[in-house]
Amino acid sequence: MYITFFSQGMAMKIVSMHVQNYKTLENIVIPFAETFNSISGKNNAGKTSVITALRGVLKDKGKENWWFGNQDIEYSSSLTQWTKAGTPIVLTYILKFSEAEDPGMYHFVIKIASLQNFDNREFLLKIELNHTDSGRNAEVYINEKKLDAFTSKEIYTKITGTSLALYYHSAEVGLSGFGGGGISRLTQDLMFTNEERADLSADQEKLKKKIKKLAGKNRTGLSDLLGKLEDKYDVELSIFEKYLSGHIPLEINLKDKSVDIPLSAWGTGTQNRTQVMMLILYANKIKEDMGGVNRITPIVIIEEPESFLHPSAQAEFGRIIRNLSRDLQIQIVTSTHSPYMLCQEHPESNILLDRKLYRKSLRQTEIVPVSEENWMSPFSNILGLANDSFSSWHAVIEAKKDCAIFVEGIIDKQYIEFIASLGVTGFSLPTGCEILPYEGKDALRNSILLKFVLEKFHKYLLTFDLDALNELDRPMRTLGLERDKHYHPIGISEPGKDCIEGLLPGEIPASVYSSNYSLVMKAQSQDPKDRKSAKNSLKALMLDAFKKRSDWTKNDLAGFKPLFSNITQAFKE
């Protein structure tokens, strides 16, 4: 069993899940990161099966009602089709609980397992479920030690009788008023304290009695109307308990241009996004309920959070969900078809599924390795691009901030950062902005990938050498990018100065060229490799010479002034 090592003091998390003989998940181990996780893959890759398998122990008790039905696995319809009949479906989960964040489950397990002098403030709980025709059997281990049958049953009953997860699927938009109170119930839970809800509950009981009394007075009219039918009925009016059972129907209004508009009147994308955000905040409220001795921090599981959103809105929403997961330390698991919902900052958190091909037929689901060299696979799978298309953008896709200046290589980055560090008025960088190098102008020619990369950021400025303007100006305009607002060519329109070195004080290139005659001659070689090598060496020497001084004045840096002015303008609030 694969185990991920988690940080100390984290809330309840699922560490890994091993699934055998369940639908297309014939034998697969899925590790989970401690905050944000994305599950992606083509249609029929097994994403829904993974989410359903998680429901084996991660229950959302608020969803167990007449609308959403039973969340348990049915053996006869779930056994892998090509597996021998009678083979058990085995699901093994490793969960982590801590005393600080999950006192309800932590103390229950310690007590029922009779763990004397247990000093650890957290433990790993392994739950192994065996499903067969005759039923289901659960075995439980704590820190790899197997517990007896009675204790295992008690812990399993406690686990499955508790809301360890909050599930959401975009299909619930528009239906959320049904199951479990939906958005109305969530709103009330989010807005009111336990004491306030107790007061409301008492008032609701009074209201129930009054409604019943009034209903009794008015049933005669309905009886008379129904009496006209051939079939005769005795009429009794009662309250639909679903709507007066601890939660008051509340409506959410979103304000637009000073007009309050009910959430239900907004577009489906806005409804979907708002409900996902509320679910995450609700999980955090449970986590921070320090007075709750039975508190267990739930995992948030969202299917296709990108639904009904424009790609630009998906990019923003994906960034917000990932940031909330890290900032609130809430574990979020999503399934997605959108590249914007993949974890761009930590690509190893992306779980890419694929089906093995056996004799031209799709068979078991497998995890595509997302290693250091293969980090781009989930992105290329969704965007339909070759993996090597992403190599130039590695640093950009992993960026942690949402404001960025893109520069053509590490040398440009060092120039800009060094000048900004000098403290010269008019040559500073915006707060919270990141300088991200990409590898060469050729990376900008892939408009599909460039569009995806840019939409990751709230604000950005794309730079490239002026010598590439003729070939890049049209692709920029095709993407709707404006010069000096979205992109800035670096250099001066003079021979040899159409790059960042062309902005340097004249003494720098003069000194470097005069001292490195052989490199200057090599830079004019007919051999492309020699020419490129010499130019790169001269670039490095000029950067070193420039950085040896820290007393550069505003006049000395005049060549860089348009670039820094453009940077300031691009990131204005």
**Sequential DSSP letters for 384-450:** T--GGGGGGGHHHHT--SSEEEEEESHHHHHHHHHHHHTT-TT----TT-EEEEES-GGGGG-HHHH
pTM of the prediction?
A: 0.78
Secondary structure letter of residue 369 according to DSSP: P
The 3-state DSSP class for residue 302 equals: strand
Strands laid side by side in the 459-465 sheet: 434-438, 403-408, 459-465, 487-490
Helix 149-160 with 103-112: angle, nearest 10 deg: 160
**Both structure tokens of 128:** 């192994």
**Phi, psi dihedrals of residue 365, rounded to the nearest 5°:** -75, 140
Residue 135 near residue 156 (C-beta atoms within 8 A): no
Per-residue pLDDT tens digits for 521-540: 998 888 999 999 999 999 99
At 285 the pLDDT is: 82
Q: Which candidate, 559, 569, 572, places its Cα nearest to that of 415? A: 559
| CB atoms near residue 209 (< 10 Å) | 11
The 3-state DSSP class for residue 178 equals: coil
**Phi, psi dihedrals of residue 478, rounded to the nearest 5°:** -60, -35
Q: Is the pLDDT confidence value at 247 over 90?
A: no
Reading phi first (left if > 0) and then psi (alpha if -120 to 50, else beta), residue 162 is in: beta
Q: Which residue has the higher pLDDT, 272 or 440?
A: 440
Reading phi first (left if > 0) and then psi (alpha if -120 to 50, else beta), residue 545 is in: alpha
- % the chain with pLDDT above 70: 81
Q: Give 562's pLDDT tier (boundaries 50, 70, 90).
A: very high
Across the range 12-22, mean pLDDT stands at 95
Q: Is the pLDDT confidence value at 486 over 70?
A: yes
Per-residue pLDDT tens digits for 76-127: 889 999 999 999 999 999 999 988 888 888 889 999 988 877 888 889 999 9
At 476 the pLDDT is: 92
Q: Is the pLDDT confidence value at 170 over 90?
A: no
Calculate the alpha carbon distances from 260 to 177, 265, 275, 407 in Å.
20, 10, 17, 43
- Between 159-168, 282-291, 320-329, the lowest mean confidence (pLDDT) is in 282-291
Q: Is the pLDDT confidence value at 277 over 90?
A: no
Distance CA 254, CA 321 (A): 20
- Between 64-68, 197-201, 287-291, 473-477, the lowest mean confidence (pLDDT) is in 64-68
CA 153 to the chain's CA centroid: 34
Q: Which residues contact 138 (CB under 8 A, 6 or more apart)?
A: 127, 128, 129, 130, 152, 153, 156
514: exposed, middle or buried (C-beta count within 10 Å: 0-12, 13-18, 19+)?
exposed
Measured at the CA of 328, the angle between CA 119 and CA 293, to 5 degrees, comes to: 45
Per-residue pLDDT tens digits for 498-514: 999 999 999 999 999 99
Distance CA 255, CA 28 (A): 47
List of domains in the chain: 190-268 (no CATH), 386-505+552-570 (3.40.1360)
Place of tokens 């303008």: 569
Across the range 122-145, mean pLDDT stands at 92
Q: What sign for the dihedral angle of Cα 455, 460, 465, 470?
A: positive
Q: Is the pLDDT confidence value at 351 over 60?
A: yes
103: exposed, middle or buried (C-beta count within 10 Å: 0-12, 13-18, 19+)?
middle
Q: Give 307's pLDDT tier (boundaries 50, 70, 90).
A: confident
Q: Give 5's pLDDT tier (boundaries 50, 70, 90).
A: very low
The secondary structure of 521-536, three-state, reads: HHCCCCCHHHHHHHHH
At 231 the pLDDT is: 43
At 104 the pLDDT is: 86
Q: Is the pLDDT confidence value at 474 over 50?
A: yes
Distance CA 567, CA 461 (A): 7
Q: Which residues contact 407 (CB under 8 A, 6 or more apart)?
A: 413, 416, 435, 436, 437, 438, 463
Pure H helices in 297-389: 311-328, 377-383
Q: Give 176's pLDDT tier (boundaries 50, 70, 90).
A: very low
Place of tokens 């290693």: 371
Residue 12 near residue 59 (C-beta atoms within 8 A): no
542: exposed, middle or buried (C-beta count within 10 Å: 0-12, 13-18, 19+)?
buried
**Both structure tokens of 312:** 């630009």
Strands 299-303 and 332-335: parallel
Across the range 338-364, mean pLDDT stands at 89
Calculate the alpha carbon distances from 470 to 118, 156, 451, 473 in Å.
70, 67, 20, 6
Across the range 298-306, mean pLDDT stands at 92
42, amino acid identity? K
**Sequential DSSP letters for 159-173:** HHTS--EEEEEGGGT
Residue 343 near residue 47 (C-beta atoms within 8 A): no
Strands laid side by side in the 13-22 sheet: 25-31, 13-22, 89-98, 122-132, 135-142, 145-146
Average pLDDT, the chain: 83
Maximum average pLDDT range among 85-94, 95-104, 235-244, 395-404: 85-94
At 215 the pLDDT is: 64
